[in-house]
């Protein structure tokens, strides 16, 4: 089980869900590798609150689960359009963030993972 305790387990393939991993009705959208904690861009006094309420990590090598390719990428608006994380938009994507899991991953379930980096909510990992 992947647990966020301020120290991330890197290079461990994790399951990426569309809601908190503790939810019994969660759906596995993909698997991926955690690269690092995504630092929010905000005042130092606000950073702790942002990390507690919207904890994001950068993941890569993400492969959509079978049948989830056309599912919406859940963090397009929440992270990339937020003032705290919008600085990652041009780093991760040229300009336009794809809206589906297949588009954001740039790979299908039977393909090899690629080094496409994206944001994911830490609470939605296991």
Q: Does residue 4 belong to any structural domain of this protein?
A: no
Domain enclosing residue 47, as ranges? 13-124
Q: Does residue 7 belong to any structural domain of this protein?
A: no
SS3 state of residue 60 = strand
pTM of the model as a whole: 0.83
Q: Does residue 32 belong to any structural domain of this protein?
A: yes
Q: Does residue 23 belong to any structural domain of this protein?
A: yes
List per-residue pLDDT tens for the chain, 126 residues long.
344 444 455 568 899 999 998 899 999 999 999 999 888 887 666 777 777 778 899 999 898 999 999 999 999 998 999 888 899 999 999 878 999 999 898 875 566 666 789 999 999 999
Q: Does residue 8 belong to any structural domain of this protein?
A: no
Measure the N-to-C terminal CA separation of the chain; round to a whole number of Å: 5
Percent helix, strand and coil across the chain, each to the nearest 5: 20, 25, 55
- The tally of domains found in the chain comes to 1
């Amino acid at each position: 089980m992947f647990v966020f305790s301020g120290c991330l387990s890197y290079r461990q393939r994790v399951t990426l869900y569309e809601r908190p991993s503790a939810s019994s009705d969660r759906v596995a959208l993909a698997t991926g590798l955690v690269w690092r904690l995504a630092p929010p861009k905000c005042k130092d006094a606000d950073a702790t609150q942002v990390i507690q309420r919207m904890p994001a990590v950068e993941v890569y090598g993400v492969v959509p689960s079978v049948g989830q390719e056309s599912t919406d990428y859940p963090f397009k608006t929440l992270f990339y359009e937020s003032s705290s994380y919008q600085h990652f938009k041009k780093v991760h994507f040229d300009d336009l963030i794809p809206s589906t899991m297949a588009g954001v991953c740039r790979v299908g379930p039977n393909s090899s993972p690629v080094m496409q980096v994206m944001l994911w909510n830490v609470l939605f990992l296991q």
